[in-house]
Structure 1
Amino acid sequence: MAEAFCPVYAALNLLQEKWTLHIIRALLEGPKGFNELSRAVGGVNPATLSQRLDQLVRLGVVEKRVESYMPPRTRYSLTPAGEELEEVVQAIERWARRHLKAPDPAR
Structure 2
Amino acid sequence: MDVTEPVFEHRAECAKVSRVLSRIGDKWSVLVIMLLRRQPQRFNELKRGIGNISQRMLTLTLRNLERDGLVSRTVTPSIPPRVDYALTQLGHSLAEPVQALGAWAFDHLDLIDAAQTRYDASADR
Q: TM-score, normalised by structure 1?
A: 0.81
Is residue 2:44 matched to residue 1:26? Answer: no
Q: 1:5-24, aligned counterparts within 5 Å?
A: 5-6=13-14, 7-24=16-33
Q: TM-score, normalised by structure 2?
A: 0.71
Q: How far apart, in 1, do the equivalents of 2:25 and 2:85 lie?
A: 20
| Number of aligned residues | 101
State which drifts further: 87-96 or 76-85: 87-96
State which drifts further: 31-40 or 16-25: 16-25
Task: In structure 1, give the amino acid aligned to 2:110.
Answer: K
- Unaligned stretches of 5+ residues in structure 1: none
Percent sequence identity is 38
| Among candidates 71, 82, 88, match of residue 62 of structure 1 | 71
- Unaligned stretches of 5+ residues in structure 2: 1-10, 114-125
| Among candidates 83, 87, 99, match of residue 96 of structure 2 | 87
Residue 96 to residue 23, structure 1, CA distance change in 2 (3 Å): same
Q: How far apart, in 1, do the equivalents of 2:99 and 2:19 lie?
A: 20
Task: In structure 2, give the amino acid aligned to 1:5.
Answer: E
Root-mean-square deviation (Å): 2.0
SS at match of 2:30: helix
Judging by fraction of residues, say which structure has more strand. Answer: 1
| Among candidates 58, 72, 82, match of residue 81 of structure 2 | 72
Q: How far apart, in 2, do the equivalents of 1:74 and 1:47 lie?
A: 16
Bigger CA radius of gyration: 2
Q: How far apart, in 2, do the equivalents of 1:48 and 1:93 lie?
A: 21
